[in-house]
Structure 1
Amino acid sequence: MNRGRADSARERDVAATQARGSATRSVLGLMIGAPLLAVALLPAAFASGGGGGTSRRWFGGRAESQRAEAQAAKDAAAAAFYELDTAQRGLRISIETITAVDGSPEARRAESDFVALGRRIDEVSHTYITAVDAHDLDRDGLEASVAARAKGELNRAKDELLRVKGELDRFEQNIAPLLDKAETQLAQLAPAVERARQALRGASDALDTVRSSGLRADELAARLAQLGPELTRLNEGAGRHGVADTLQRADRVLRDAEAVRAEAERLPERAAEIDRRLVSLRTRAQALTTRAGGVEPVLSELRRRFVADCWQDLQHVPERAADHLRQAETRLGEAAKAREEQRWADATSLLATVRALLNTTDEEVSAAGDRLHRLNAVAKDPQQEIDRARFAVRDAQRLAMDGRNTPDPRHARPLDEAVARLDRAVAGLEGRHPDYWHFLTELEAVRTTAAQVVDLIREERGAGHA
């Protein structure tokens, strides 16, 4: 807007109004100060009311009436102009608020629409200023026709100003949701930044407490130091980095600082837990070393009493157990060193490796003793295993025939194969050196097949019921 010219026009309007007020007060003062003179002159004025005098006073009265109407039109146009200017200034702040927070297509479109509105505002403002500059309504001897023309131009300028003000009002209503969203984010900005700062202070205090107990917490200190540049950017403010980026940065700093604080507070407990695990795993390794020493006699008995297929897969258990235990002892030493150096993550990882090695060794050592126990049991009385397998198959067959005259082939076929497999396994026990381990694995497979058929039938009937 051509605000310089507009302000000049306004100043001239104010000066002219003041001049008119001063003149009015002067005339009133004279009339009050000399009432006798006014009374004396009044009959003379009426007495001299010839044709020429009356015509001049009528003409002057008409010109003054037109001047007053033009001045009123000018005042109304000025009010419309400044109302439009005030609205535009307020909307400019709203648009700047939206674009500072929102980078969406809707926000960019609102900004471009506001620029277009600004061009229309400049046009109607120019028309108004031109109309004001074109007519000096305070000039002596102002003709009635000139005053009437001025009134018409000023009224048209006022109407255009009001029309554009209406467009501006509708635009303001349309961007209200965007403005509400932006103001909400701005309202969140200061609290979010303050929460991030508080979180950093909390993390720093937690680290100080941990260090005072003799724990270095170097890793946590390094992570906290990495947040320093982020705090600097937060302090630089949203004016430099944008509201959205600042909110995201504050959230990230808050999350990372809280993680550092929580880990620092857990660090003494973590150190104590590592100490407990070191002792526990070392004790377990020693116990497994003792148990592993008993595997060889077990294997010796298996070799002596059963065919090779019953123990062949176990013959390398002593070697593997010894190797795993050596690795576990090495890793335990490394974990203890990492604990001493307060490399907590390394210590934790090494202890996990030790535990996995000991679990594997435990399973293999236990497998040898379990194999001998199961083979002894089945060699003494295989009928118990046979009965278990037959019961599982018959139970599945009864379920397959429930409510049917003939079983579904999808159920009957695997059950028939399981029965045949069971019969072959039982027949395999005949002879001088039966393979009891093969017998056990076959019967286990039969029970597994029966259980699968049962699950399939129940699933199908459950789906049909649903």
Structure 2
Amino acid sequence: MTATPREPNSPLEPRAPRPVRDTLTLVALPLLVTLALPGAFAGGGTRRWFGGGGAENRRAEAQAAKDAAAAAFYELDTAQRDLRISIEAITAVDDSPAARRAVADFDALGRRIDEASHRYIEAVDSYDLDRDDLEASVAARARTDLTAAKDELGRVKQDLDRFADGLGPLLGKAETQLARLAPAVERARQALLAASNALDAVRAAGLRADDLAARLAALAPELTKLNQGAGQHGVPQTLERAERVARAAEAVRAEAHELPEKAAGIDHRLVSLRTRAQALTTRAGQVDPVLSELRRRFTAACWQDLQQVPDEAVENVRQAERKLREAQSARDAQRWPDATALLSTVRALLTATDESVSAAGDRLHRLNAVQKDPQQEIDRTRFAIRDAQRLAMSGRTTPDPRHARPLDDAVARLDRAVGTLEGRHPDYWHFLTETEGVREAVARVVGQIRDERGGGQ
């Protein structure tokens, strides 16, 4: 409420009490006049100083009404000020339709408060209750007008109270977010400080961590906005910014903390992969004797896919050694992501080489075993087929065609594979790949049966 009563009738400032000597003078004056002028009251033109006992009663009633109206005015003004603080808290946090409606309703109440306040001020300004010649009728009108103003102020206060009660959920949400604001900003500041300290420790250990420093420097503008406060950038936006800064700073701190260990890990991998590359160079040189024996004892189909293994192994090891040198350079320059990526490439090259070199020896071992005793491979495959057939017939009088057909095909396929062993130069590798394929097909049928029964079918 912006309007205030005009002096000297403002209820905001109590009127100073009349000095005692003035009161005594007023009481004594009629007596002195009477003594001095014995015939003064004989004529009809004399003026009365007071309106009599009735006028004084009306004056007292009007003054009481004025005091009550002033109290109602102050009460309404205080409630409006308190509620404005709540509305400002809501608008700082919430931009939902409900919050916007609350602001509009508060503005409407504010206009009613202004109207009621204006009526009160007019009533106060219209009557000087301290006048010595105040008439009883004027005092009565003053009491009526001031009482009406007080009642209107009370009705508006009741509406304001009801409105305040309805703000509970919105105000609770706003207070919750405002309560989170200061701790969130402080956490962000502490996270930035911790990240900065971690970087200092890393640099003291001789590690530059330039990428981490750049990431931390990029957060400086965000810290500036946090320091400017929610009043400039909004509470929700400041909360979101504080949480984002805290997460980013914590990531920098964690990576800085792990950097010495990462550097040591890269050093260890460099040594380990060099050793592995050297060992593979030695193993690759042993592939040629294996291939020579395969060529001498078995048909071309058993070894021709391995012909390129020695050359590929040498080339892969050469590439791995070149990548290792690049990784060492990246590590020396403390380009940690580059070093890590290069070491991953080296590992992949050496793993592929290891598998191809091992494949030649494994091939010779398996061919030797099947040449010596092919029945063992046949029995292993037939057992898998019979086990699947028993499962397919479990709880049934006739097998499900979806299961029986692939199992029958597996039997026929095994028989054909066994047939390839007849002749002067059997293709043992074809036989091994076929039996392995049969077992894989049978395993798929078993898995299908178990899935169906496990699902209640």
**In the TM superposition, what are the counterparts of 1:53-452 in structure 2 within 5 Å?**
60-452=52-444
1:11 match: secondary structure:
coil
The alpha-carbon deviation at position 454 of structure 1 amounts to: 1.7
Contact 1:2 1:125 in 2 (8 A): no
Identity of aligned pairs, percent? Answer: 72
The residue type equivalent to 2:138 in the other structure is V
| Structure number with higher helix proportion | 1
The match for 1:44 is: none
Measured after TM superposition, the shift of residue 147 of structure 1 is: 2.5
Rounded to whole Å, the distance in 2 between the matches of 1:301 and 1:84 is 107
Q: Is the 8 A contact 1:9 1:132 kept in 2?
A: no
- Seen in structure 2, the aligned counterparts of structure 1 residues 250 and 7 have a Cα distance that, compared at 3 Å, is farther
Over residues 251-301 of structure 1, what are the superposed CA-to-partner deviations in whole Å (9 max), with x where a residue is unaligned?
Answer: 222222222222222221111111110000000011111111222222222
Contact 2:51 2:135 survives alignment (8 Å): no
Change (3 A) 1:60 1:328: same
**Structure 1 residue 318, shift from structure 2 partner:** 2.0
Contact 1:94 1:179 survives alignment (8 Å): yes
Mapped to 2, the partners of 1:138 and 1:312 lie a distance apart of 125
Q: 1:426 & 1:75 partners in 2: Cα distance?
A: 118
Shift of 1:8: 4.2
| Residue of structure 1 equivalent to 2:5 | 6
Equivalent residue letter for 2:70? A
Q: 1:6 to 1:231 in 2, by over 3 A?
A: same
Aligned residue identity for 1:364? S
The amino acid that maps onto 1:452 is R
Structure 2 CA distance for partners of 1:196 and 1:25, relative to 1, 3 Å: farther
Write the deviation string for residues 110-135 of structure 1: whole angstroms up to 9, x where unpaired: 22221121112112212222222222
Q: Is the 8 A contact 1:2 1:126 kept in 2?
A: no
Residue identity matched to 2:229? G
**What is the CA–CA distance in structure 2 between the aligned matches of 1:215 and 1:106, rounded to whole Å?**
54
State whether residues 317 and 350 of structure 2, in contact with CA within 8 Å, keep that contact through their aligned partners in structure 1. yes
C-alpha change, 1:62 and 1:443, in structure 2 (3 Å) is: same
Output the CA distance in 2 between the equivalents of 1:92 and 1:448: 77
For the residue of structure 2 that corresponds to 1:464, the secondary structure is: coil
What RMSD, in angstroms, separates the aligned Cα atoms of the two structures?
A: 2.8
Structure 2: 5+ residue runs without aligned partners?
36-40
| Separation of aligned partners in 2, 1:443 and 1:412 | 19
Partner in structure 1 of residue 38 of structure 2: none
Normalising to structure 2: TM-score of the pair? 0.90
Query: What letter corresponds to residue 388 of structure 2 in structure 1?
Result: A
Q: Kindly state the Cα deviation for residue 312 of structure 1 after the two structures are TM-superposed.
A: 2.7
Is the CA contact 2:229–2:238 (under 8 Å) kept in the aligned structure 1? yes
> Post-superposition shift, 1:143?
3.0
Distance 1:28 1:133 in 2: 29
Contact 1:124–1:161 (Cα < 8 Å) also in 2: yes
Deviates more, 1:105-114 or 1:392-401: 105-114
Distance 1:424 1:130, change over 3 A: same
Inter-partner Cα distance in structure 2 for 1:351 and 1:329: 10
- Is the Cα contact below 8 Å between 1:299 and 1:368 reproduced in 2? yes
Retained in 1: the 8 A contact 2:5–2:11? no
2:222 and 2:100 map into 1 onto residues whose CA distance is: 28
Q: Is the 8 A contact 2:381 2:439 kept in 1?
A: yes
CA contact (8 A) 1:98 1:179 kept: yes
Per-residue deviation, 1:62? 2.3
Hey, what's the Cα distance between the residues in 1 that align with 2:12 and 2:336?
Answer: 81
Unaligned runs of 5+ in 1: 42-47
* 1:216 aligned partner, one-letter code: R
Quick one: distance in 1 between partners of 2:354 and 2:102?
71
> Displacement, 1:333?
0.3
